[in-house]
Amino acid sequence: MNMLEKALERSLEKSKNADDKAELKKSEKDSLKAQSEISEPISEHQNSAADVVRFDWNRLGELGFIKKDDSHSRIAEEYRSIKRPLVTNALGARKFDINNANLILVTSSIPGEGKTFTSINLAISIAAEMDKKVLLVDADVAKPSISKVLGIKTKVGLIDFLETDSIPLSDIILQTEIPGLRIITAGKSHKFSTELLASNKMIALSKELSERYPDRIVIFDTPPLLATTQAEVLASQMGQVILVVGAELTPQNYVMESVKKLQNCSDVVLALLNKAQRSLNPGYYGYGQY
């Protein structure tokens, strides 16, 4: 129990009415929990300092990801321009025009178009800014890759949280070595994962993440739109959607179909990210028109 909580306990003892006491305790504990998640001190539910996720920057660099303290590489430059409109929509003047503007879903039409690559790079790029906070959520629960790519061992994640009422949100939010970056992994595999992602609890979680942390950008890595219904279900809860398109990989009619699905499901701001192979630069591929 930390000092704040001890002080709370003492003030509760003085309370005359037992019912009021229970109510007060619950609401103040909730508010303490919310505060601790926002302002970093480690609460009883959070991971200890030993659990802070550290990244293997050399390996990430070899895989083409943005590297730590590397703001001049081409990939860092590209993500600077990709993130700008997203951040402006999420935190700038436009946030009042868009519902849940700080919730960003990353999807694609078919597998392997670069969703996870995009989600991680965006998260690192935004969190690298001093005053920005990012929560990266692996919502590709059938084929989770964020843990794999980032070398995270923790098993408890989104699905565990959705499945039961006994795991507090703070237990699944991992701290990382980047102060502004937190991660929620996909958690265990579950045969009803689609239903869990479409559940009221997931809707409540999205709402809570958007409203409780209005200064935080939440990025959801999701499955391909045309393969499962999960991304479509989630998209209706988001403010912004990035549709990653493999320029030389995805047939145009697939892209049109995906756009149609997204247009049907909600009033989101849709961005197309065109992952183009650059013929002038053999072996290199990056992101083009946005």
Ligand X SMILES: Nc1ncnc2c1ncn2[C@@H]1O[C@H](COP(=O)(O)OP(=O)(O)OP(=O)(O)O)[C@@H](O)[C@H]1O
By beta-carbon distance, which residue lies closest to Mg ion?
116
Q: Which stretch binds ligand X (CB under 6 A): 109-117, 231-239, 248-256, 260-268?
A: 109-117
String of contacts with ligand X for each residue 53-72, x by CB under 6 A: ----------xx--------
Under the binding rule (CB under 6 A), the answer on residue 180 touching ligand X is no
Smallest distance, Å, CB 44 to Mg ion?
A: 33
Under the binding rule (CB under 5 A), the answer on residue 115 touching Mg ion is yes
Under the binding rule (CB under 6 A), the answer on residue 38 touching ligand X is no
Smallest distance, Å, CB 107 to Mg ion?
A: 10
* Count of alpha carbons within 13 angstroms of residue 284, beta-carbon side: 10
String of contacts with ligand X for each residue 210-249, x by CB under 6 A: --------------x-------------------------
Strand-pairing partners, residue 273, are 244
Q: Which does 41 bind (CB under 5 to 8 A by kind): Mg ion, ligand X, none?
A: none
Query: Going edge to edge, which strands form the sheet with 133-138?
Result: 174-175, 181-184, 133-138, 216-221, 103-108, 240-246, 269-277, 285-287
Under the binding rule (CB under 5 A), the answer on residue 228 touching Mg ion is no
Residue 189, Cβ density class (10 Å: 0-12 exposed, 13-18 middle, ≥19 buried): exposed
Handedness of CA 237, 239, 244, 245 (dihedral sign): positive
256-285: contacts with ligand X (CB under 6 A):
275, 285
Of residues 100 and 108, the one with the C-beta less far from ligand X:
108
Q: Using the 8-state DSSP alphabet, how is residue 67 labeled?
A: P
Helix (H, G, I), strand (E, B) or coil at 2: coil
Q: Which does 117 bind (CB under 5 to 8 A by kind): ligand X, Mg ion, none?
A: ligand X
Under the binding rule (CB under 5 A), the answer on residue 102 touching Mg ion is no
The residue type of 150 is L
How many helices, marked H, and strands, marked E, lie in the chain?
12, 8
**Best CA proximity match to 43, nearest among 91, 87, 1, 95:** 1
Of residues 36 and 240, the one with the C-beta less far from ligand X:
240
Q: Which stretch binds ligand X (CB under 6 A): 33-41, 107-115, 161-169, 175-183?
A: 107-115
Smallest distance, Å, CB 223 to ligand X?
A: 7
Are 75 and 65 a contacting pair, CB within 8 Å? yes
Smallest distance, Å, CB 62 to ligand X?
A: 10
**HEC string for 145-176:** CHHHHHCCCCCCCHHHHHHCCCCCHHHHCEEE
Smallest distance, Å, CB 203 to ligand X?
A: 23
Are 62 and 213 a contacting pair, CB within 8 Å? no
The residue type of 3 is M
Which one of residues 99, 145, 236, 277 is an interface residue with Mg ion (CB under 5 A)?
Answer: 145
Are 170 and 43 a contacting pair, CB within 8 Å? yes
Smallest distance, Å, CB 50 to Mg ion?
A: 28
Of residues 85 and 286, the one with the C-beta less far from ligand X:
286
Residues that bind ligand X (CB under 6 A): 63-64, 108, 111-117, 140, 143, 145, 224, 275, 285-286
Residues that bind Mg ion (CB under 5 A): 115-116, 145
